[in-house]
Chains A and B, each alone.
Chain A
């Protein structure tokens, strides 16, 4: 099976812009979670989607949003970008049979 894929792999944006990141889970996985990784805060949970519904949400401002499509692919959107949003954004899909989370390679977002 193909692994979790994320596009694009790298993004450079300027403050105030918005950005959309995409994640395709492993085939058959219906849960997709998003995480932000920064040197200062480590890995922090953003949100989880299951069957097109947000099932869980972390402590991030409303500028961070997401959605999931019927084929389980997920997108996350960050509006009004700030310098502090520069990070590696990771998505993970859940194998509900083994409870194992599988991560994609991440999208490196740089905000100038």
Chain B
């Protein structure tokens, strides 16, 4: 059974700090890995997608990396802001074509 794990489960940082969220996956044959953010009671917003052939993707203050050999991905958030407070989810997509989600990291950025 394919699994995705996210560490830490919760994180609280002061505004302006750089931070890293971790995601581990067991599917060694993933097609891609996608990072999402979810605000309370809302749907998911896609942040970044990394194809299996790529090492990293960047969008603004966000940078996601992928290491297939170790089964790990990281999401780096630079200069965090209170508006970044949300739950961050990673999801792997493999041969079954369905997204396998991690349990998420609840991020709180304190002003």
Minimum distance in angstroms from A2 CB to a CB of chain B: 14
Q: Chain A interface: which size bin?
A: 20 to 34
Cβ–Cβ contact B49 & A99, under 8 A: yes
Residue from A4, A55, A98, A101 with most neighbouring chain B CB atoms (10 Å): A101
**For A104, what are the chain B residues with a Cβ–Cβ distance below 8 Å?**
43
**For A6, what are the chain B residues with a Cβ–Cβ distance below 8 Å?**
43
Cβ–Cβ contact B89 & A43, under 8 A: yes
Cβ–Cβ contact A101 & B46, under 8 A: yes
Q: Chain B interface: which size bin?
A: 20 to 34
**For B100, what are the chain A residues with a Cβ–Cβ distance below 8 Å?**
45
Cβ–Cβ contact A98 & B49, under 8 A: yes
Known A-B contacts A42-B104, A43-B101, A56-B97; the reply to A103 vs B49 at CB < 8 A is: no
Cβ–Cβ contact B36 & A45, under 8 A: no
> Whole-angstrom distance between the alpha carbons of A93 and B104 in the complex?
21
> Whole-angstrom distance between the alpha carbons of A69 and B6 in the complex?
36
Query: Which chain B residue has the least Cβ–Cβ distance from A46?
Result: B98
Interface on A for B, CB 8 Å cutoff? 4, 6, 33, 35, 42-45, 48, 55-56, 58, 88, 90, 92, 98-106, 108
